[in-house]
């Protein structure tokens, strides 16, 4: 009971609710309108600017209509953390997010290659890697998505699910969504 109540508060984006465990940003691609409010919220929070390519969450629109958010899913095993030769990446025990130590990151990009979804990308100005840090437990992307009633992103408690499944290449997501929307016609648009 307590757990589901906590989850409800997370869904509503209640910042005062103390989390009793790691969280995850649940994603429902079919509900994404491509409004990119999540990117705007993310870059305002982290960069204090509206900066689409410096956002940790990025909406891809490889085929019109197949907009979806691409952001770290915190794979079990964390291949990006493993791959970093400079020990610049670590896992936050409380939130389960990957944290980038900007002092140590040299922007080598090994973590990009290690990620099955090639989700991390380089900060356009700083040449340091960008990975979702779950906003220290209150992901702004999910908050803004919920505010708009879109329901594409929402914060939930992390349980025992294979979250790594979401670490897929954008092309693969786009392909799935295009077929779901347009059936066989999708082939022409990819």
Partner 1 sequence: MFGYAGKLLEVNLSDGAFKEMRISEETLRDYVGGRGLAAKILCDRLVSRWDSIDPLGPENILLILSGPLTGFFPGGRICVSGKSPQSNGMVGSTVGGEFGVELRCAGYDGIVVTGKAEKPVYLFIKDEDIELRDASHLWSKNAKETEASLNRECLKKLSERYRHFGQWREPAKLYVGPAGENMVRTAAVISKWTHAAGYGGYGAVMGSKKLKAVVAKGTGPLPEVADPDRLKKLIHIVDRNAYGNVLWRKWGTGGGGYAFGANTSSEPVRNWQDEWHDEKSFGVDQFENRLWVKQTWSDYGCPTNCMKIAMVKHGKFKGAITDNPDYELQAYLGANIGIFKPEENVYLSALADDLGLCGIQTGNVLGFAAELYQRGILTIRDLDGIQLDWGNTEAFAQLMWKIACREGIGSLLAEGTFRAAAEIGKIKGKNLLHYAVQTKGIGIGAHGVRSGRDFPSEIGYACSVQCGDHTSLTDLPIHGYGSEVWEAFNDSAVLCVFNTFGLPEKVKFEFYHAVTGETLSRSEWAGTRGMRILQIQRALLLLGGPDLKWNTKTDDDLPDRFYEPLPSGPCKGKAADKKRVRKLVLKYYEQAGWDVNGIPTTETLKALGLHDVDVALEKLRKICRE
Is the CB of 11 or the CB of 157 nearer to partner 1?
11
Picking from 81, 89, 90, 92, the residue whose alpha carbon sits closest to that of residue 115 is 81
Is the CB of 24 or the CB of 150 nearer to partner 1?
150
Compute, in degrees rounded to 10, the torsion defined by CA atoms 167, 70, 21, 13: -160
CB of 112 to partner 1, least distance (A): 5
Give the separation between CA 34 and CA 19, rounded to whole angstroms. 29
Q: Which two tokens mark 174?
A: 């786009």
Burial of residue 130, with CB atoms counted within 10 A of its CB: 0-12 exposed, 13-18 middle, 19 or more buried: buried
Strand partners, 70: 58
CB of 151 to partner 1, least distance (A): 9
Is the CB of 136 or the CB of 147 nearer to partner 1?
147
CB of 33 to partner 1, least distance (A): 4
Give the separation between CA 86 and CA 70, rounded to whole angstroms. 25
Strand partners, 122: 129
CB of 10 to partner 1, least distance (A): 21
Is the CB of 6 or the CB of 67 nearer to partner 1?
67
Compute, in degrees rounded to 10, the torsion defined by CA atoms 68, 74, 78, 84: 70
CB of 87 to partner 1, least distance (A): 20
Binding residues (CB under 8 A) for partner 1: these are: 31-37, 40, 43-44, 47-54, 58-65, 67, 70, 107, 109, 112, 118-122, 124-125, 147-150, 169-170, 181-183, 185, 188-190
Give the separation between CA 180 and CA 65, rounded to whole angstroms. 11
Is the CB of 8 or the CB of 125 nearer to partner 1?
125
CB of 80 to partner 1, least distance (A): 12
Is the CB of 157 or the CB of 169 nearer to partner 1?
169
């Amino acid at each position: 009971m307590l757990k589901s109540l906590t989850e409800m508060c997370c869904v509503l984006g209640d910042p005062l609710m103390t989390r009793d465990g790691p969280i995850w940003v649940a994603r429902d691609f079919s509900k994404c309108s491509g409004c990119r409010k999540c990117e705007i919220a993310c870059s305002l929070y982290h960069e204090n600017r509206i900066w689409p390519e410096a956002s940790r969450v990025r909406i891809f629109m490889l085929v019109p209509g197949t907009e979806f958010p691409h952001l770290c899913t915190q794979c079990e095993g964390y291949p990006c953390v493993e791959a970093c030769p400079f020990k610049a990446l670590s896992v936050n025990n409380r939130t389960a997010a990957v944290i980038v130590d900007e002092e140590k990151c040299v922007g080598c990009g090994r973590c990009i290659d290690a990620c099955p979804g090639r989700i991390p990308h380089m900060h356009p100005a700083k040449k340091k890697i960008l990975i979702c840090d779950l906003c220290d437990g209150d992901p702004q992307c999910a908050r803004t998505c919920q505010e708009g009633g879109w329901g594409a992103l929402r914060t939930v408690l992390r349980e025992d699910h294979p979250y790594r499944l979401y670490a897929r290449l954008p092309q693969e997501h786009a392909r799935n969504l295009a077929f779901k929307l347009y059936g066989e016609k999708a082939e022409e648009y990819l």
